[in-house]
Amino acid sequence: MHALIVWGGWDGHEPEKVAGLFRDMLEAAGGHVTLADTLDPFDDAEGLQRYDLIVPVWTDGVLSREAATNVSEAVARGTGLAGCHGGMCDAFRSSPLWQFMTGANWVAHPGGDGMNYRVRITSDDPLVTGIPDFDVVSEQYYLHVDPANRILATTRTDVVTWYHSPNGPVDMPVAWTRDWGLGRVYYNALGHQPDVIAEGPAREMLRRGLLWAAAGKAAAKGRDLTPMMTPGNHW
């Protein structure tokens, strides 16, 4: 398994440390990891398609249309995409293709950091089998989420009162999987600070998600992407 971890963007999410956590998980599973503190690897369309997994750790930032397309095409051909928190679903806010591919975009974290909330496992998928519900003290992400996502865990958005409160609390997805072409996409909203995902159930969820997404490369081998392709732009 060969993985690319691209880290940078807003320093408040400590991207270098989060990238190090992901590197450790992948190397412990026998993976070879390339770390980059620049978006330059996304400009290499052919190079991206040689990876089993791409892990973005890049809150905010700007991604060119060409680079977004390169990542999309790599994932569509089987390269996995996996990440957490703002490093994946609050990255590249001006790129609708990125949001479509990852399955959501961040819009708020009512109450800020230090919110105490429960993560509830809502699936019998092997990615969360044996992981109990658990409590988190961190930001609680409010996301605009693709209804096609396969939800693994949720949290109830009733921990703080704000302008959204008259709409009533909802079960906000915390972790999910989805497909993009022949590729696998995994996201987990936890990880505002590295300590939130450094141990316990949150770390185990992410570890499994990274490996699951990477395994999609082998599963895609020999499959035909052509039936999913039509002429013209779609974003």
Q: What is the pLDDT of residues 128-185, one digit of tens each?
A: 999 999 999 999 999 999 999 999 999 999 999 999 999 999 999 999 999 999 999 9
Tell me if 97 sits within 8 A of 235, measured CB to CB: yes
pLDDT of 87 reads: 97
pLDDT at 235: 63
Put residue 218 in one of left, alpha, beta given phi > 0 → left and psi -120 to 50 → alpha: alpha
Torsion over CA: 217, 220, 222, 225 (sign): negative
Counting runs of H as helices and runs of E as strands, what totals does the chain give?
Answer: 6, 11
Q: For the residues 183-190, what does the mean pLDDT come to?
A: 98
**E runs forming strands in 122-220:** 134-138, 142-145, 150-156, 171-180, 183-188
Q: Give the pLDDT score at 233.
A: 67
The CATH architecture assigned to 2-228 reads: 3-Layer(aba) Sandwich (3.40)
pLDDT tens digit sequence for 44-53? 999 999 999 9
Q: Is the dihedral of CA 118, 119, 122, 128 positive or negative?
A: negative
